[in-house]
Amino acid sequence: MQIGVSLSRRCKTGLEWLNQNLRALQVNIEDPYGYFADRITSESLVSLAESLKANVLVVFARDSWGRVFYRGSAIYPLHRRTSLYVEDLVSHARRKGIQVVIMVDHTANRFIYRKHPSWAQVNIDGEVVVLEHYPAEERVRDPHWPQICPNSPALEKFFVPEAEEAIRITDADGVLLDSFRYLPDSKKACFCSFCRERFKRETGLDLPRRLNEEDEAYRLAWEWRYKITREAISKIKEAVTRVKPETPLLYNSHPGGWAGRGNRVLEGVADIIDGVFAEATETDFKGPGFLTFITKLNRGIVGGEKPVFVSRNAFYMLRVPQSPPPLHVKMGLWEIFASGGKPWVTVFSSQLFTDPRSLEAVGEVYETIDRIGEYMVGKRPLRHVGLVFSNVTHDWYLHAHPEYYVGETIGFSLMMMHSHMPFEIIPDSYLEDLAKLAEFKCIVLANTGVLSEKAEKTLKRYVESGGTIIGTHEVGVLREDLTYREALALDEVFGVSYEGPLKWGYIYLDLVHEIDSELRSSLWNGLPEAIPLGDASSVFRRERADPMLGESVRLVARSAKPLAFFRIAKSAYGYEYTLGRSTPAPGRPLGMPAIVLNEHGRGRALYYAFRLGLHYDRLGHPDYLELFRRPLEALVATPLKTNAPPTVQVEVYKGKDEMIVHLVNHTFNQRMLDAPSWPSRQTIPAFDPYYSIHPITTIIPLRGIYISIRWDGSEKVLVRDAIEGSEDIIVAKNGWAEIPISELREYKMLVIEPRG
């Protein structure tokens, strides 16, 4: 295989370039007065991209104030201070083998708003929906970033012609809808006259003004808003390709923003768009694992084939003009690359002229990916565990509180990352496709509250033919039409009867009573007799305990074998220590099954009658991880063994004969995530300000670790360190290739090939 050769230097046209070894640089000139605009030129941007080994440049063709960065617009005024002309940038970049993606058609547009205030999106309180951030108690007045409604005449009079004009004049290589937002949640949803009229015309109903999921019109309006977005994006795509066929359209899904609704929009437009941009600012607030989760989530949603770009900002938190320590940026980029995303660095003009130090770190990573990225082209992630992320569950199961559903799935994602279990994230559509399910050894249904009839049947067949499924809490209590099953989906497969949810506040897992000693010592050795479920409420207004953590379901084990039971807590909250907020002591055994295992057909089904992932997501306590890892490893043979600590991320990809292993070392200075102990009655000032998040400054190198991979190729195995270029021959034994790693610093890529 040839690495780092001409492919990445040659400009490709049409859609073809999207599949190359790409490294993007997004430069945003984004302030009303253009503080730095006259200092940015097409020459300076191309030479910056070249120096960083970036081969994709992303810039505004039109900004949120409604100005363009190209000459000759018949629609918008030219930015008064710009020295950057995108048409020059495109021709200049093309000569250097750099693709240019333009951002157009963001719904935020002050120019349209000032001309036609009535074309703005207006929320349920009659306030203009804005993209900018106002303090909660401040009124929205003369906003900079008002959202324009796609149901207003703006779509035909501005957005469609804008897309046509921008691509015609600039001849760019791709178009990004960076912020095309029209949301269903009532505080951001539009109730303008155009929306009300159109909804009435199309459904015969009034657009409902109250959040009420039991109102049919409300449900209809929710889904209708996604339809509006899809239609608008479809029109924009047509406009772009009318002018320049085969121009890729990318959509910014912002997977961790906008209440996660962008993931549902993405699912709806997956057939229209050509790639995803997963904006990932939240990573600075969430820590390692977040970038992995959203990369895999968006890849799953678009079906695994279309490229997923994921961003690491060149700045830190929201401190746009300041460079973080270089390692902070590098580790984010390695996590994106290892998870299968295409790295994308976002920088704003203030940083370029104030503190661009972190770009040096970007250059280092991009130079390496330029050399080794070709190895990843055409490789597929190893399919082992499929973690379900159901958009329909996200929207409807806990409707107003989707964050708890996300927490449950993120918890499983973190548990698998920390126990080196290869996993992919799969959307609803996979659950109705047996061939797709069959690529995985195990499917995790983490509180997948809504499951279609077809998915239930398909999953049943999956287990009958030898697959393993794992479910938590309420799996499929709702059908896709939101009717209740009054049972769990797949209850026969899980070998249980469901008798409804129980809201305890706190409850305990019982790993001792009625569990035979052999099972106990093989599965739960070293774990305590009782493990608490539930934790203090982070709101602490009326409820003392978090309502979702201390909830379980009542199961009757039919054919299933209990692996653990529940114990009641001695009291509703703890009397010890911080009386009223602490965790209560464990009380009597309840004899109610909490974890059960069933054999069904040729497969197995494991069920947790509580939200296990949510506990791990919140607390990270290894006891919760062990409750998952041990049964999973007993049920499904692991394809990977390692003595590396949980802070080492291992990602495995397969080619025809070869395998690629990424190792990302998240062992760094302890990055403090500081949580408040929340207010209560008679609150007095805190000891220190709650909220401190520290950046990554130092990586702790690891020595003496090994990675052992299941290997069914030749006995002799060639292991190449892709970055160093060094090669070793090892001998596979009993179907395993054990690879010693002499030292792991930030990141390593291993290429493993059969050697004759």
Binding positions for Zn ion, rule: CB under 5 A: 149, 151, 190, 192, 195
Smallest CA-to-CA distance from 261 within 248, 250, 252 is with: 252
Report d(CA 736, CA 715) in Å as an integer.
9
Nearer to Zn ion, 110 or 394 (CB): 110
Report d(CA 425, CA 390) in Å as an integer.
10
Helical packing angle, 358-372 and 42-52, nearest 10°:
60
- Report CA Rg, the chain: 27
Return phi, psi of residue 376, to 5°.
Answer: -85, -20
Taking CB atoms within 8 Å and a gap of at least 24, the contacts of 436-439 are 437/386, 437/462, 437/467, 438/462, 438/465, 438/467, 439/383, 439/386
CB of 205 to Zn ion, least distance (A): 16
CB of 188 to Zn ion, least distance (A): 11
Nearer to Zn ion, 147 or 263 (CB): 147
Nearer to Zn ion, 120 or 605 (CB): 120
Nearer to Zn ion, 224 or 334 (CB): 224
Return phi, psi of residue 479, to 5°.
Answer: -85, 175
CB of 190 to Zn ion, least distance (A): 3
Report d(CA 56, CA 94) in Å as an integer.
10
Report d(CA 656, CA 417) in Å as an integer.
25
171: left (phi over 0), alpha (psi -120 to 50) or beta: left
Nearer to Zn ion, 192 or 442 (CB): 192
Cβ contact 704:711 at 8 Å: no
The C-alpha angle 665, 671, 672, rounded to 5 degrees, equals 150
Report d(CA 453, CA 500) in Å as an integer.
20
DSSP 512: S
CB of 232 to Zn ion, least distance (A): 11
CB of 114 to Zn ion, least distance (A): 18
Nearer to Zn ion, 39 or 196 (CB): 196
Nearer to Zn ion, 192 or 239 (CB): 192
CB atoms within 10 A of CB 570: 14
CB of 268 to Zn ion, least distance (A): 18
What does the H/E/C string look like for 166-194?
HHHHHCCCEEEECCCCCCCCCCCCCCCHH
CB of 223 to Zn ion, least distance (A): 16
Nearer to Zn ion, 195 or 451 (CB): 195
Smallest CA-to-CA distance from 749 within 690, 687, 683, 662 is with: 662
With residue 386 as reference, give the H or E element that holds it. Answer: strand 385-388
Nearer to Zn ion, 98 or 192 (CB): 192
Nearer to Zn ion, 223 or 674 (CB): 223
Nearer to Zn ion, 195 or 450 (CB): 195
Report d(CA 167, CA 224) in Å as an integer.
30
Burial class (CB in 10 A: 0-12, 13-18, 19+), 605: buried
Cβ contact 616:411 at 8 Å: yes
CB of 229 to Zn ion, least distance (A): 12
CB atoms within 10 A of CB 522: 11
CB of 255 to Zn ion, least distance (A): 25
Nearer to Zn ion, 236 or 302 (CB): 236
Smallest CA-to-CA distance from 194 within 122, 265, 129 is with: 122
Q: What is the arrangement of strands in the sheet containing 423-426, beginning at the earlier edge strand? A: 423-426, 385-388, 442-446, 468-472, 603-608, 586-600, 561-569, 507-510, 530-533
Taking CB atoms within 8 Å and a gap of at least 24, the contacts of 431-440 are 431/388, 431/390, 431/455, 431/458, 431/459, 432/458, 433/458, 434/458, 434/461, 434/462, 434/465, 437/386, 437/462, 437/467, 438/462, 438/465, 438/467, 439/383, 439/386, 440/383, 440/384, 440/385, 440/386, 440/467
Nearer to Zn ion, 210 or 656 (CB): 210
CB of 197 to Zn ion, least distance (A): 9
CB of 214 to Zn ion, least distance (A): 24
Nearer to Zn ion, 258 or 736 (CB): 258
CB of 510 to Zn ion, least distance (A): 54
CB of 122 to Zn ion, least distance (A): 7
Nearer to Zn ion, 195 or 614 (CB): 195
CB of 118 to Zn ion, least distance (A): 10
Report d(CA 251, CA 177) in Å as an integer.
5
The residue type at 753: E
Per the document, the length of the chain is: 756
CB of 121 to Zn ion, least distance (A): 5
Contacts of 357 (CB under 8 A, 6+ apart): 323, 326
